[in-house]
Amino acid sequence: MVLVDNHAGKDGAENENLVDFRGNPVDKSRTGGWLAAGLILGTELSERVCVIGIAMNLVTYLVGDLHLPSSKSANIVTNFMGTLNLLGLLGGFLADAKLGRYLTVAIFASIAALGVTLLTLATTIRSMIPPACNPRKRDQCIEASGHQLALLYTALYTLALGGGGIKSNVSGFGSDQFDPSDPKENKAMIYFFNRFYFCITLGSLFAVTVLVYLQDDVGRGWGYGISAGTMVLGVAVLIGGRTLYRFKEPQGSPLTIIWRVLFLAWRKRKLSYPSDACFLNEYHNAKVPHTHMLRCLDKAAILDDYAAENENRKNPWIVSTVTEVEEVKMVLKLIPIWSTSILFWTVYSQMNTFTIEQATVMNRNVGNFAIPAGSFSVILFISILLFTSMNERVTVRIARKITHKSQGITSLQRVGIGLLLATAGMVASALVERRRRLHAIHDHFKIRAFWLVPQFFIVGAGEAFAYVGQLEFFIREAPERMKSMSTGLFLSSVSMGYFLSSLLVSLVQAATKGRWLKSNLNKGKLDLFYWMLAVLGVINFLIFIVFSMKHKYKDQNISSLGDSAKELGSWKDLTLDNKEKKLGAQEEKA
């Protein structure tokens, strides 16, 4: 994440003219810097407190208070998170094309504040909650009705809209407060991204400890009300500091270029290819070398009689340039890796759905204090922090000594390790759930919830690799003029992962006639669902290896996971113990 935002900041601050809130060229002594960036960090901290505080504990409210089935509750959570990340694309598009980052963040932060306020009302108005279950007839609980769920859904998706707009722009807006051409400010910008990540984690830890406790033991209204107040305060701070910010004016969205090239290629699909590629529009002035990959897109740059007339060749909706076509090719080349990254986030989504449900039926007592089920996800964030730090301080340094490359391990290797750890996390989840259910059924004994630590810890370690690896891959491989697409691609893979989880739950429910995923976990077979995800993880990893072997990095000096696998013969040979001599020979050959 640090890497992608760093590049985004360079592209924004170095290549574009920045202005103050009056539209005048910035005075660096009065605008930007740490004060402005700190105010922006406050907005991100508020967003994390709201979203994580809701997402990590929402399933317990849906099952326990609204009496919804376990599978439906899980799908509500994953659909909410999937929509939030998908709407990040909308927020990024509006900021690039029309509104600019500041106005987009301010508008969407206000929408997020409205959403969490509505959620507070939805969980405190008595008529919006069904009556409590009869302790003697737990199987006859009354589910929340359609009108009771209406306000809840309105609140969640209003928050999803606001959170998506914030998520896709706040880091870039923060980076605009530093000038990378100034050595002092460039160094400060690096620290900004470290602190940005710290704020995300700090907000997440606060949410899964303090807010989750308040939601479970004091009342949902208090927990969500504090979130609403935090978001309103974040908006007020952001708007109050507008005179201190540096603003980058919108320059147009790269999504428009992609859509335009695809549209023209389709419209000209019946035209014949020119005898030589040099006859394509702006071939000799192209900033990106022409390639024969996805040759069908070259038709967007064909100069037919109409396109060659007068000024038509300068009209982007009549004919594209070779540069634009090649940039779109580069984006499409990322799709195979993008597609195999989705399943990781499907696995990750289980950490705030079914894993939390597991915790609710386990022994969570430490002395006389019962740890809230949602608070066990704190282990996930601790693991992420631990392995993120260890990766840079240990793993990368060891890899640098072995490979003699500054990067250490490649982005695709990071993703591959993350996928393997996600699969291992599902194996651990299945084993723990089987043990839990057997003790509950045969011994009428609740095992301790700390048995969930391995699955949280392993999946958290996987995120430390996969998260950074995906972002690094997308930012390095994206066209220079489309760096903002990297965040969008990442958010869309997260979104698709959550939606895939909802789809799999629905398919499993239909295929097993509800026998696997029951509200009463003791009567279901959740462990089989975890085993299914583990098997899918193995298959997905093998497909990822194939795609990695075929992928060629934009920077030919960096050998991809696929190139390494070809040279060394197998994934096993990529381990630190076996590859030193062979990678040394590979470098000499290169």
Angle, vertex CA 564, rays to CA 399 and CA 483, nearest 5: 80
Mean pLDDT of the chain: 82
Residue 352 pLDDT class (50, 70, 90 cuts): confident
Q: What pLDDT is attached to residue 568?
A: 31
Q: How far is CA 448 from the centre of its chain?
A: 31
Per residue in 291-314, pLDDT (tens digit) is: 888 889 989 888 887 877 777 778
Instruction: For 525, list phi and psi in degrees, rounded to 5.
Output: -135, 60
Which ranges constitute the DSSP H helices of 410-452?
A: 411-438
Q: What pLDDT is attached to residue 76?
A: 93
* 23 Cβ contact list (under 8 Å, min separation 6): none
250 or 485, which is more confident?
A: 250
Q: What pLDDT is attached to residue 589?
A: 44
Distance CA 261, CA 301 (A): 8
Distance CA 294, CA 551 (A): 14
- Among 481, 472, 48, residue whose Cα is nearest residue 255: 481
Instruction: For 25, list phi and psi in degrees, rounded to 5.
Output: -55, 140
| Packing angle, helices 146-167 and 33-55, rounded to 10 | 150
- Among 405, 417, 357, residue whose Cα is nearest residue 586: 405
Range name among 231-245, 396-410, 526-540 with the lowest pLDDT average: 396-410
| Average pLDDT value for residue range 530-545 | 96
Distance CA 364, CA 446 (A): 9
> Residue 188 is encoded by which pair of tokens?
């400060």
Residue 8 pLDDT class (50, 70, 90 cuts): very low
Angle, vertex CA 25, rays to CA 20 and CA 30, nearest 5: 55
Per residue in 151-193, pLDDT (tens digit) is: 999 999 999 999 988 888 887 888 888 887 777 877 777 667 6
Q: What pLDDT is attached to residue 485?
A: 66
> Residue 574 is encoded by which pair of tokens?
């990529």
- Residue 557 pLDDT > 70: no
pTM above 0.85, yes or no: no
- Classify residue 121 by its DSSP letter: H
| Average pLDDT value for residue range 206-211 | 88
Q: What pLDDT is attached to residue 138?
A: 59
Range name among 19-23, 325-329, 348-352, 358-362 with the lowest pLDDT average: 19-23
Q: What pLDDT is attached to residue 10?
A: 40
Q: What pLDDT is attached to residue 405?
A: 65
Q: Which H or E run contains 242?
A: none
Q: Report which residue type is found at 38.
A: G
Q: Report which residue type is found at 272.
A: S
Q: What pLDDT is attached to residue 484?
A: 61
**CATH numbers and ranges of domains, the chain:** 24-252 (1.20.1250.20), 254-320 (no CATH), 322-552 (1.20.1250.20)
Task: Give the max Cα distance, the chain.
Answer: 85
Percent of the chain with pLDDT over 90: 29
Q: Which of 129-138, 271-280, 348-357 shows the highest mean pLDDT?
A: 348-357
* 79 Cβ contact list (under 8 Å, min separation 6): 498, 499, 502
